[in-house]
Amino acid sequence: MSTRVEIVDPVQYAGVASHILQAAWTPPCLYYSADYLSWQFAFPSDLPRVGAIAYLDDRAAGCIAVTARRFGTAREAFAAYVLSFVAVDPSASRRGLASAMYAALLEALPRDTPIVAFAEPGSIGEGLLLQSLQRASFRHYPLLACRAVGFLPRPGTSARSSVVEEAASYEAFAAAAHVSHERKTLWTDITPEHWYHYRQDPRPRAMLMVHDETGNPLGTAMLVNAEILSPQGVQHVPMLDSVALGEPTPDSLAALFEFAATRAQPGSAVIASNLSYVDSALLRTAGARALPSSFNPHAFVRGPKHVLETAGALNLEVT
């Protein structure tokens, strides 16, 4: 059997990637619908859209892609790629397709654009990721692990001094943004274009603002109705992501979880996949509990020195 890898515009191959990803991942996992992947691949950016499809003879059997994002620190904002959606159909395993896709994709990217990627700790996929980026002359910077937490509302919760509400406009959302100037965290930078795109998520997504009882801004977050594929089918789980609190407190965290719980089915937990910059003691006090699932985020830089090299954590949603 012959193999080959083609560089593609991933938006045009979302249906192909959806089929491969659903074959490769075992439930419970994210539901990689074609609509969801099309939305992920189409984030607005000056960076080119790049993906790769691996073929076994003439059958598409592997996929990989980068999606464009923006990050900000206390000093500057910059564009970067998030490398994700890596999968090989189990029927085509052990043929070197993943390594070949990494090599082709990394060769096709703009040389000095930094990359962020998530991987399961200690997995074969994480090892291949690190080896592939090293071969392509990227410098590697591990970030704080992203451990998922869950929250179940309890009856008789106390009154909150923190208030959460949905933002009606980008201007209101931007005015509420109040992230820490601590230089070790990379924050998701929401431009007007990204605000609009996030609101086009085919899964319902709400853009949230957090402020104190006098109206002073405390930060922002997003709430998405994530689609999880289980043995029983597709289930909808409220998930907090891109939580950006300048000075997180048990009260502001609990207010976010409790707001999210109002959008959940009765008895359903709220999930947050990445609060790595928040102290675990604060999360426990807010009523959240660690879940078994975790991911290692990795940052990669090739070329001149970059501000990303000083990062210790980030608040991006796990993809």
Spell out the domain ranges in the chain. 3-145, 146-297
The pLDDT score that the predictor gives to residue 28 is 84
Largest CA distance in the chain: 67
Amino acid at 262: T
Output the pLDDT for position 208: 97
Q: What is the pLDDT of residue 1?
A: 76
Check: CB of residue 63 under 8 Å from CB of residue 101.
Answer: yes
Query: What tokens appear for 136 in the block?
Result: 């392509």
- In this prediction, residue 75 carries a pLDDT of 74
Distance CA 152, CA 155 (A): 10
Which one, of 182, 47, 192, 16, lies nearest residue 115 by Cα? 47
Give the pair of three-digit tokens for residue 24: 């490769």
Is the CB of residue 83 less than 8 Å from the CB of residue 101?
no
Cα–Cα distance between 189 and 316 in angstroms, integer?
10
User: Phi and psi of 21, rounded to 5°?
Assistant: -65, -40
The Cα–Cα gap between 115 and 80 comes to 6
What architecture does CATH give domain 3-145? 3-Layer(aba) Sandwich (3.40)
Alpha carbon 35 to its chain's center? 17
Q: Reduced to 3 states, what is the DSSP secondary structure of residue 7? A: strand
Q: CATH top-level class for 146-297? A: alpha beta
Q: What is the mean pLDDT of each run of 10 residues along the chain (319 residues)?
A: 94 98 90 97 97 96 97 87 97 94 98 95 96 97 95 81 96 86 82 96 96 93 92 90 93 96 85 93 96 94 92 92
Supply 183's token pair. Answer: 């230089």
Dihedral-angle region of residue 133 (phi above 0 means left; psi in -120 to 50 means alpha; beta otherwise): alpha
According to DSSP, the residues that pair with 210 across neighbouring strands are 164, 219
Q: What is the C-alpha to C-alpha distance for residues 9 and 53, in angstroms, rounded to an integer?
A: 10
> Do 3-145 and 146-297 agree at the fold level?
yes
Is there a contact between 63 and 54 (Cβ–Cβ < 8 Å)? Answer: yes
- Burial grade of 169 (CB within 10 A; 0-12, 13-18, 19 or more): exposed
pLDDT for 166 equals 97
Q: Annotate 42-75 with b (16+ C-beta within 10 A) or e (fewer).
A: bbebebebbbbbbbbeeebbbbbbbbbbbbbbee
pLDDT at 181: 62
Show the tokens assigned to 127: 């090892």
The pTM for the full model equals 0.94
Sequence length of the chain is 319
